[in-house]
Structure 1
Amino acid sequence: MPLHYLALGDSYTIGEAVPATGRWPVQLVHQLRARGVAIDDPQIIAVTGWTTDELSAAMDAATFTPPYDLVTLLIGVNNQYRGRAAGEYRSQFSGLLRRAIALAGGRAAHVVVVSIPDWGVTRFAREQDRDPAQIARALDVYNAIARDEAGRAGTRWVDITPISRRHPDLVADDGLHPGAAQYTLWTDAILPAAAAAVK
């Protein structure tokens, strides 16, 4: 039987402004299949603009078929964008992580947490006259929380934030969200952790 993959997140997971084939969860499945892994198309629970609590509410209403052999979680940029407190993020992210582990059949090593990219380097941020240094500092705090919670829970952690900072021009036409080419770089970084999770 093929393995089952659940991707939880927001605009970065659903691939806002890119074709479905450009989404990194879809690219990840293609790369895993190229390695000989029999895996289904991803079930994606993600909508542009979602915060941690909105993802949790959507999960309450979603239909799942656990246990999943791979679960990825990338969430938090909209918490930062809306100026939410870091302490609130930790509490809500920790809850989402527990749910992700449960959906993976209690197997924490089958969950991969992906860091939040830095939107402060994008053309959108420049056009909005946003402070890139302030955005970077805030996202570094959020990512430190996510990394800490992932470590505590025994899940896997992949840091794609440096990729987003090195490639500010690899964005979609909206000038904000990554383009398919940047998602390919993310996929290359996520692949080893995902392959180890389903091994």
Structure 2
Amino acid sequence: MRLSLLFVIAIVFFGCSQERELSAFEPSTDNILDTELPSTISNDSNGPHLNESGTYNYLALGDSYTIGASVTTAESFPIQLKHRLEQGLKVTVNTEIIAVTGWRTDNLLDAINRGTALPSYDLVTLLIGVNNQYQGKPFRIYKKEFPQLLERAIALAYGNPKNVVVVSIPDYAYTPFGEGRNTDKISKEIDEYNGFAEATALQKGVPFVNITDITRNGLSNPDLVAGDGLHPSGEAYKRFVDVIYPVVLPVFD
């Protein structure tokens, strides 16, 4: 009887320990912004969420350029895009952002692997790579991990590459932060990253939007740089949306 009781206690203790370990790997909701999700999620959808309710789900994947570091949440490009779509098309766009300042491609892959709030989205944007470049990581890592991220983005967009948009990496050489650094090297490497991202996107049938040229006006037009002297301003993000908006419109046809 005593041995049986000890056995039961051991099972209960092991179960509680396992539960604590698993909870550490649950996806964080710290970076989910302005999201209005249904109480239940269906996995049997086979296409974009086009219905009479006019409700769409948008997932923005990236780093500080996606969360809008040093500007308000409302000024970030995903939220400005959300509002532009809602106002222009009279729809509702539930927006989830998975992005953290400093993230490289491997960090974003890890976050996606931990899970998203929904199994599928009507629109997915992907902007990643500047921290691979800034931190001096070998370019071969980006060449390996960016295609993996793009495949995941397509899978999250109901498997439809036309519902994904790759956004180019801004060029921080044209900011006060970049001055005094090897700006020619920075710009050359940013071009290399963007060239690979564009070629990969087009190969998979995914639209590619170049916003890098906008950021290369950062020194001649200080209004395009946030107060930290590094990241784009709300005005710069507005100009991003001016370019992205017509590209994503076919998703809402």
CA distance in 2, matches of 1:8, 1:37: 24
1:74-93 → structure 2 map (5 Å cutoff): 74-93=127-146
- In the alignment, is residue 161 of structure 1 matched against residue 212 of structure 2? yes
Q: Does 1:18 align with 2:71?
A: yes
Distance in structure 2 (CA, Å) of the matches to 1:37 and 1:157: 25
SS at match of 2:185: helix
Q: Does the alignment pair 1:192 with 2:243?
A: no
The answer to whether the Cα contact below 8 Å between 1:70 and 1:198 also exists between their aligned partners in 2 is no
Aligned sequence identity (%): 46
- Indicate whether 1:103 and 2:169 are aligned: no
Contact kept? 1:5, 1:39, Cα under 8 Å: no
Would you say 1:177 and 2:227 are equivalent positions?
Answer: no
- Greater relative CO, 1 or 2 (CA 8 Å, sep 6+): 1
Partner SS, residue 197 of structure 1: helix
Mapped partners of 1:63, 1:32: distance in 2: 22
Structure 1 position 186, deviation (Å)? 0.6
- The normalised TM-score by structure 2 is 0.75
C-alpha displacement at 1:197, in angstroms? 2.9
CA shift, 1:37, in A, is 4.7
* Contact 2:86 2:93 (8 Å CA) reproduced: no
Asked whether the 8 Å contact 1:9–1:74 carries over to 2, the reply is yes
Shift of residue 121 of structure 1?
A: 0.9
Report the residue type matching 1:64 in the other structure.
A
Cα separation, 1, equivalents of 2:110 and 2:173? 27
Match of 1:40 in 2: 93
| Deviation sequence 1:12-55 (CA, Å, 0-9, x none) | 00000101100000000111112215232310000000000001
Asked whether 1:113 is paired with 2:159, we answer no
Q: Which has the larger radius of gyration?
A: 2
One-letter identity of the residue aligned with 2:155:
A
Deviations 1:50-73 (CA, angstroms, capped at 9, x unpaired): 000001111112333132100000
Which one of the candidate residues 107, 112, 125 is aligned to 1:59?
112
Give 5+ residue unaligned stretches, structure 1: none
SS in 2 for 1:41: strand
2:199 corresponds to: 148
Matched residue, 2:62: 9
**2 CA distance for matches of 1:30 and 1:116?**
23
- 1:108-158 per-position Cα deviation (integer Å, ceiling 9, x unaligned): 0000000000001100111xx211111000000000000011011111110
Q: What number of residue pairs does the alignment pair up?
A: 197
